[in-house]
A and B are shown apart, each in its own frame.
Chain A
Amino acid sequence: MADVVSLGARLKTRRAELGLSQAQAARELDVARTAYRLWEMQAAKPSPDRWRLISRWLGVSVTTMLLAGELISAEEATANTVTEARFGRAGEDRDLASAAREGDFFLQSRGLIQDGVASGSITAEQADELSLVLDRLEQERRAAPTIQWAPGELRKAFPASERTPRAARDAVSLIAGDIPTEALETVRLLTSELVTNSVVHGPPAIVGVFIEVGRDRVRIEISDEADAPPRPGPPGRDGGYGLTLVDALASRWDTSRDGNRNVTWFELDLPAPGA
């Protein structure tokens, strides 16, 4: 498969063939000289309303022009070239660009390329180039992570002190720093509340912190050696507020007994990717 020559290089070559300066080329393409220079440098992209004119000037099809390097996103290029293959025009049917973000885009596109070759609206070489871009696009799509944050877990026993709530919050930020900001704020707050309760009402020597970031939720477990599990107190009491907040903000929470340790845990559901 021939390398795809970048649009910048194509423009430069064509301008040399015609013996034009950048200013003259810009006049022929009806754009400002600065804009033309940026196109040659691959530092800017021509807008779709210029595509026809540029491709004619270059003496190549819009298909070839759009595939030139990474000038426009492969997805957009593909959508437009498929449109060209189908309707003999490009840059006009933006529906296909949104179809690109939907499921059967690749299947649909390959069918359209075959139709284009069969009807003679694109050459076999162009169809090959197009297929290459589709393959690359599909690979990129597969390689892309399907979740927006990295799962992971962290377990640590902190000696109880008035600084432990902050240490636990920082641990949350460390392991869950890439979850949505609002969720992170909530998990940091609730972790701070539970650890504060453990430190204040224990008095435990050790506060155990377990943080688990999953695909769809964060789970926090705080354990201590207090005699009885904590319960929400009346509003206004120091300890009461903490569990009131956990109850209001967590997706679910509970307390349990693990040997001689009390475990208070909560989970916060995370929004689905793309939601």
Chain B
Amino acid sequence: MKPFAGNRTPFFVIPFDDGRGARLVGELDLSTVRVLLAALETLPVGVLDLAELSFMDARGLHALEQHAGRLNGSAPLVLENVSPPIRRLFELTGADRDPDLKLRSGGADG
């Protein structure tokens, strides 16, 4: 049997114009965490906007925690526009109590 030949899982990291952070767009899972971590290695931002993240599972969560850890605790990684299903993921795993992470339902001004 050929390897599964489905389309590449859609996932993009798009930096803000002001370089303060980045938007995550698409689905964050086993197949796309590499893309996230590679992007964040060259772009060590402290703010991620999750408004357009349509799916995330524990793999994605783990990658965000890894990135937060890499920021060396200088400031928590701020996650903006966290949707209810993704917030639930953080709550059920206890990651919402991680001091390296700060979850916001709205944007920076919300």
Contact indicator B31/A165 (Cβ below 8 Å): yes
Say yes or no: A188-B55 contact (C-beta < 8 A), given A159-B3, A161-B3, A163-B4: yes
Alpha-carbon distance A241/B89, docked complex (angstroms): 10
Residue of A whose beta carbon sits closest to that of B65: A236
Partner of B4, one of A161, A188, A238, A245: A161
Q: Is B100's beta carbon under 8 Å from chain A?
A: no
Say yes or no: A162-B92 contact (C-beta < 8 A), given A167-B6, A196-B57, A238-B62: no
Chain A-chain B contacts (Cβ-Cβ < 8 Å), number: 71
Contact indicator A189/B62 (Cβ below 8 Å): no
Q: Is B59's beta carbon under 8 Å from chain A?
A: yes
Contact indicator B29/A245 (Cβ below 8 Å): no
Say yes or no: A242-B58 contact (C-beta < 8 A), given A166-B29, A189-B89: yes
Residues of B within 8 A of A199 (CB): 30
- B residues 5-24 with Cβ under 8 Å of A? 6, 8-9
Q: Is A193's beta carbon under 8 Å from chain B?
A: yes
Contact indicator B62/A241 (Cβ below 8 Å): yes
Contact indicator B93/A235 (Cβ below 8 Å): yes
Query: What are the 9 closest A-B residue pairs judged by CB atoms, nearest first?
Result: A241-B58, A162-B31, A192-B57, A185-B85, A166-B9, A248-B92, A159-B1, A162-B30, A196-B30
Q: Is A210's beta carbon under 8 Å from chain B?
A: no
Question: Which of B55, B59, B92 has the most A CB atoms < 10 Å from its CB?
Answer: B59
Q: Is B94's beta carbon under 8 Å from chain A?
A: yes
Q: Is B36's beta carbon under 8 Å from chain A?
A: no
Residues of B within 8 A of A186 (CB): 85
Write 15 A-B pairs (CB below 8 A) sorted by A numbering: A158-B4, A161-B4, A163-B8, A163-B9, A163-B31, A166-B6, A170-B6, A188-B55, A235-B93, A238-B58, A244-B92, A245-B58, A245-B92, A245-B93, A249-B92
Residues of A within 8 A of B65 (CB): 236
Q: Is A169's beta carbon under 8 Å from chain B?
A: yes
Contact indicator A165/B4 (Cβ below 8 Å): no
Q: Is A22's beta carbon under 8 Å from chain B?
A: no
Contact indicator B61/A241 (Cβ below 8 Å): yes
Alpha-carbon distance A242/B9, docked complex (angstroms): 20
Beyond contacts A163-B31, A182-B85: 12 other A-B pairs, Cβ-Cβ < 8 A, are: A159-B2, A163-B4, A163-B6, A165-B30, A165-B57, A167-B6, A170-B6, A192-B29, A192-B57, A196-B57, A241-B93, A245-B89
Q: Is A114's beta carbon under 8 Å from chain B?
A: no
Residues of B within 8 A of A189 (CB): 55, 57, 85, 89
Residues of B within 8 A of A170 (CB): 6
Contact indicator B92/A200 (Cβ below 8 Å): no
Q: Is B49's beta carbon under 8 Å from chain A?
A: no
Contact indicator A193/B62 (Cβ below 8 Å): no
Partner of B58, one of A159, A166, A167, A193: A193
Q: Is B80's beta carbon under 8 Å from chain A?
A: no
Alpha-carbon distance A241/B65, docked complex (angstroms): 13
Alpha-carbon distance A235/B92, docked complex (angstroms): 10
Alpha-carbon distance A193/B6, docked complex (angstroms): 19
Contact indicator B31/A166 (Cβ below 8 Å): yes
Residue of A whose beta carbon sits closest to that of B29: A165
Q: Is A164's beta carbon under 8 Å from chain B?
A: yes
Residues of B within 8 A of A192 (CB): 29, 55, 57
Residues of B within 8 A of A167 (CB): 4, 6
Chain A, residues 161-191, CB within 8 Å of chain B (1/0): the string is 1111111011000000000001001101100
Residues of A within 8 A of B92 (CB): 244-245, 248-249
Question: Which of A166, A170, A192, A249 has the most B CB atoms < 10 Å from its CB?
Answer: A166
